[in-house]
Amino acid sequence: MAQSIPLAPSKTTETLSNGRTKGASDHASQHAAALEQKIRNKTAKIGVIGLGYVGLPLAIEFARKGFETVGIDLDRTKISSLQKGKNYIQDIPDAHVADVVNNGSFRAQADYSNARTLDAIYICVPTPFTTNKDPDITYITSAVEELAKELRDGQLIILKSTTFPNTTEGTVQPILEATGKKVGEDFFLAFSPERIDPGNQKWTTANTPIVVGGVTPACTRLAVLANEQIIEHVIAVTSPKVAEMEKLLENIFRSVNIALVNELAKLCDRMGGISMWEVVDAAATKPFGYMPFYPGPGIGGHCILIDPYYLSWQARAYDFETNFITLAAETNESMPFYVKDLVFKAIADQPIRLRDANILVLGVAFKRDVDDTRHSPAIRVMEILMQEGVSQISYCDPFVEKLWVSGRTFEAQTLDEQTLEAANVIIITTDHTQWDYEFIARHSTALIDTRNATKHVNDPKLRAKIQLLGSGKAAHLP
């Protein structure tokens, strides 16, 4: 259940502090009441803009709850696949997509036509950064500009894309209000960040609590109600800015904590004789005040790597340096270079020249058991190795058939004895659960494990071939 939000008329209708007439305020509460009624009796038409990792599960969830749902995406390949009832998001069962397409509750289109017929619209478009790591919110602004052309009284718009505080009120609201319509009266606007964790079987769209902050109390109330149709626990906060900052805190928290263990993992390797993996597991026995994070080859994906930069960029406009964010980024971004050092050390131990070395990368998705390669640390490791003159690189990943790195196309190799034995050095960059790590160790010459995937490999002969990042075995590294 959501935190209690008064169902009484909104502040606008009580005080008329914005100078609008009583008639306008009555109008506003009529719009709110009509939309509320439509959401409650499931006649509200739902729109989802951007049908990727966030948008498609959301759209399918609404359609499965009986709402007529329209998905809009500019990627025609995705649209034509959905129009045939074909799914492309790993976490959604194929049958769920086929069912809602076949029963007509979900429809996908590649333009914004008839967007004015939608009642509640979720915006789930990408929020990447530029080469210089400045925020790029042009996907949001172009989606909102399209919606503005079709804006009608009584619509609710919920931004879900992760972004810096004040995007909803400072950027989205002015575009929509340029139509002459007023937020909280003619239309309703809120920010409700996404928390989906691709590959997580336990925490799904339905059972992961979600935060909502509306521009006015009526906006919050309606956005909470819309979310409650598919999400068990919805938490209202006082403004979109709080919700925007809250999402960034979640991701900065992870980035900073991962950086901390990465730094200590390097220290363990420097000191020798202490494994950071054992240290983290030991600390995790404390039943309060501690949460385990593990070292690795770097961070990736569309969230933890990017989102902190949104805030550090914004903070600079206030003469404020977000030192934790910068330090965490510096540490995490150093990890692929650290993996490169481990690879060079393993090559140096063999009678082979760098340029002749054959390197096999195991796992190119940014984390285990997913197919998402965006900003994957494995790709960064491959780029760095190629820049250093290593040309014979191949990879295995059951979730990723093809990969493009620094202008080269790579195709996934079959993980078998031949592939493993052909490599001078194997790097485990992603610890997919379906792999047999004992088998991998047995058929490797030198194995660099950046994820502790080989933790159950106990045979001393095999362990001698394994260089585990942060294990304290690489005491001679710089």
Ligand X SMILES: NC(=O)c1ccc[n+]([C@@H]2O[C@H](COP(=O)([O-])OP(=O)(O)OC[C@H]3O[C@@H](n4cnc5c(N)ncnc54)[C@H](O)[C@@H]3O)[C@@H](O)[C@H]2O)c1
Q: What's the first-to-final CA gap in the chain, in angstroms?
A: 54
- In the numeric block, the tokens 């759209």 are attached to 59
Q: Which two tokens stand for residue 107?
A: 């429809």
Least distance (Å) from ligand X to the CB of residue 303? 5
Angle, CA of 335, 339 and 344, to the nearest 5°: 145
Q: Which pairing describes strands 402-405 and 408-411: parallel, antiparallel, or unpaired?
A: antiparallel
Binding mask 374-413 for ligand X (x = CB under 6 A): ----------------------------------------
Comparing CB distances to ligand X, the nearer of 82 and 218 is: 82
Of residues 16, 40, 66, 75, which one binds ligand X by CB under 6 A? Answer: 75
Position with the least CB separation from ligand X: 52
**Which residue stretch of 15-23, 30-38, 52-60, 220-228 sits at the interface with ligand X (rule: CB under 6 A)?**
52-60
Least distance (Å) from ligand X to the CB of residue 195? 6
219 a catalytic residue = no
CA dist 449 and 429 (Å) reads 7
Residue 205 within binding range of ligand X, rule CB under 6 A: no
How many other CB atoms are there within 10 angstroms of residue 42's CB atom? 13
Residue 142 within binding range of ligand X, rule CB under 6 A: yes
Of residues 143, 172, 265, 280, which one binds ligand X by CB under 6 A? Answer: 143
Least distance (Å) from ligand X to the CB of residue 174? 18
The SS3 of residue 124 is coil
The SS3 of residue 119 is coil
Least distance (Å) from ligand X to the CB of residue 266? 28
CA dist 419 and 413 (Å) reads 7
Least distance (Å) from ligand X to the CB of residue 307? 6
Of residues 28, 54, 400, 403, which one binds ligand X by CB under 6 A? Answer: 54
Least distance (Å) from ligand X to the CB of residue 143? 4
Of residues 106, 139, 164, 435, which one binds ligand X by CB under 6 A? Answer: 139
**Which residue stretch of 17-25, 156-164, 343-351, 429-437 sits at the interface with ligand X (rule: CB under 6 A)?**
156-164
Residue 55 within binding range of ligand X, rule CB under 6 A: yes
Of residues 196, 343, 362, 426, which one binds ligand X by CB under 6 A? Answer: 196
CA dist 374 and 263 (Å) reads 24
Residue 52 within binding range of ligand X, rule CB under 6 A: yes
CA dist 123 and 115 (Å) reads 12
Residues 78 to 137 in contact with ligand X, rule: CB under 6 A = 78, 124-127
Q: Which residues have C-beta within 8 Å of that of residue 239, sequence separation ≥ 6?
A: 169, 213, 214, 215
CA dist 263 and 331 (Å) reads 7
Of residues 5, 39, 51, 225, which one binds ligand X by CB under 6 A? Answer: 51
Of residues 50, 135, 308, 472, which one binds ligand X by CB under 6 A? Answer: 50
Residues 20 to 49 in contact with ligand X, rule: CB under 6 A = 49
For 436-458, the DSSP string reads: -HHHHHHT-SSEEESS-TTTT--
Radius of gyration of the chain (CA): 25
Sign of CA dihedral 451, 452, 457, 463: positive
Angle, CA of 235, 240 and 245, to the nearest 5°: 85
Residues 300 to 319 in contact with ligand X, rule: CB under 6 A = 302-303
Q: Which amino acid is residue 24, in one-letter code?
A: A
Of residues 162, 229, 413, 430, which one binds ligand X by CB under 6 A? Answer: 162
How many other CB atoms are there within 10 angstroms of residue 18's CB atom? 13
Binding mask 418-437 for ligand X (x = CB under 6 A): --------------------
CA dist 460 and 231 (Å) reads 49
Q: Which residues in this chain contact ligand X in the complex, by CB under 6 A?
A: 49-55, 72-75, 78, 124-127, 139, 142-143, 160-162, 194, 196, 198, 302-303
Catalytic residue numbers? 303
